[in-house]
Amino acid sequence: MSPAKQTNSEDYLRMYRQMVRIRTFEDNANQLYLSAKMPGLTHMYSGEEAVAVGICEALTVTDKITSTHRGHGHCVAKGADFKEMFCELLGKEEGYCRGKGGSMHIADQSNGNLGANAIVGGSMGIATGAAFTAKLLGTEDVTVCFFGDGATAQGLMYEVMNMAALWRLPVIYACENNGYSEYTRTDEIAAGSILARAEAFGIEAHQVDGQDVLAVNDLAQKLVARARTGDGPFFIELMTYRYHGHHVGDINRDYYRSRAEEKDWKENRDPIIRFRSWLVAEGIASDDALEAVNAEIRAEAADAVDYALNAKYPDVSEVDMHVFTDVRHALA
How many whole angstroms separate alpha carbon 167 and alpha carbon 173?
Answer: 15
How many whole angstroms separate alpha carbon 112 and alpha carbon 143?
Answer: 9
Let me know: does 56 contact 14? Beta carbons within 8 Å.
no
253 binds another protein (CB under 8 A): no
Nearer to another protein, 127 or 213 (CB): 127
**184-185/180-181 β-pairing:** antiparallel
Distance of alpha carbon 207 from its chain centroid, rounded? 17
How many positions of this chain bind another protein (CB under 8 A)?
49
How many whole angstroms separate alpha carbon 92 and alpha carbon 80?
Answer: 16
End-to-end CA distance of the chain: 60
Stretch that binds another protein, among 106-114, 172-180, 239-247, 264-272 (CB under 8 A): 106-114
207 binds another protein (CB under 8 A): no
Which positions from 138 to 167 touch another protein by CB under 8 A, shown as an x/- string?
-x-x-x-----------xx--xx-xx--x-
Task: Kindly tell me which residue out of 127, 205, 272, 311 binds another protein, with binding defined by CB under 8 A.
Answer: 127
For the purposes of burial, counting CB atoms within 10 Å of the CB of 80, is it exposed (0-12), middle (13-18) or buried (19 or more)?
buried
315 binds another protein (CB under 8 A): no
138 Cβ contact partners less than 8 Å away, ≥ 6 residues apart: none
Nearer to another protein, 26 or 141 (CB): 141
321 binds another protein (CB under 8 A): yes
Stretch that binds another protein, among 27-35, 71-79, 115-123, 190-198 (CB under 8 A): 115-123
Binding site for another protein (CB under 8 A): 64, 66, 95-101, 105, 107, 109, 114-115, 117, 119, 122-134, 136-137, 139, 141, 143, 155-156, 159-160, 162-163, 166, 321-327, 330
